[in-house]
Amino acid sequence: MPSVNIQPVSPYPALLFREGRERTVIVADLHIGWEISLTSRGIHIPSQTPRLLARLSEVVRKARPTRLVLLGDVKQAVPKISMEEWKSVPEFLEAVRKMVGDVTIVPGNHDGDIEPLTPRGIPIASSDGIILGKKATVAVFHGHAWPKPQALAADVLVMSHIHPVIRFWDRMGLWMVKQIWVRGKCDGGRIAEGYLNYLSIAPGSNPRATFKERVGVEPRDPRLIIMPTFNDLIGGLSMDRLAKRVTGPILGSGGVSLGDAELYLLDGTYLGTVNQFRRRESEE
């Protein structure tokens, strides 16, 4: 497997992929307008858009990207567009384009009808994501839907969608929740089997061979990176309580060894595996 030059922009929830002169920064789950959705419940939080822009500006200064990929859930409201989003999303995207001239949106499940909010010159990819790199490839997709078939031949898969966090607690009942990176291994055969079932194609006894024959792509066993949210005020899914019904098709396929997945804080601190946290919870 070729060496893939992809790494977090520590201590931010952002990834940097490098190949030659290209430097692509990936951030996910901005959920612009999220704070407005709380107003009806009597919770009043000021607009977070200026804070998100300031944080992204810090990432851009540190990573010096030639391209920026917004990996899904740029906005919050589903399925409509809130009044706040009509104002904040275009202003945010215009400001981002001034920071990095080349911006691409990979839509997530919250991004329905995002087209009228997007300034001209910012392309919106399909929900099955994009492929970065030539020598070593990275498939980038939000995770609520199947990625493009070529993703199964990539060296690394990058998704978001589940807002990964981990819970820390002690015997006195004190709790703390932290955003995390998740890094795991994939079984390309299991993912191919799930994908073929989705396409209504019988996987047969060898799903890899069937996928190559019927789809034209030879599945590999890529690494998987699950990104934390760039908007750190929204909720998260604790990895020790992961439920298949909310994880999307890749994780739900059974082709990712989630129990053995490694967990890292935003500053790079290694915490252990999902199974280690599950065992600790059962012991407590």
* CA 152/CA 149 separation, integer angstroms: 6
| pLDDT of res. 1 | 46
Least confident of 174-178, 216-220, 278-282: 278-282
User: Residue 264 is inside which H or E element, if any?
Assistant: strand 262-265
Single out the residue of 72, 63, 69 nearest to residue 26, CA to CA.
69
pLDDT average, residue stretch 185-210: 97
* CA 241/CA 121 separation, integer angstroms: 41
pLDDT in tens, 21-33: 999 999 999 999 8
Decide: residue 227, CB within 10 A, 0-12 exposed, 13-18 middle, 19+ buried.
Answer: buried
Beta strand 164-169 pairing with 175-185: antiparallel
pLDDT average, residue stretch 128-154: 95
pLDDT average, residue stretch 74-96: 84
| pLDDT of res. 250 | 95
pLDDT average, residue stretch 157-166: 95
Domains of the chain as residue ranges with CATH:
6-186+222-283 (3.60.21)
Q: Contact 23/66 with Cβ under 8 angstroms?
A: yes
Buried b (16+ CB within 10 A) or exposed e, 136-153: bbbbbbbbbbbbbbbbbb
Q: What is the DSSP letter of 15?
A: E
pLDDT in tens, 95-130: 999 999 999 999 999 888 899 999 999 999 999 999
pTM, 2 dp: 0.92
pLDDT in tens, 46-67: 778 899 999 999 999 999 999 9
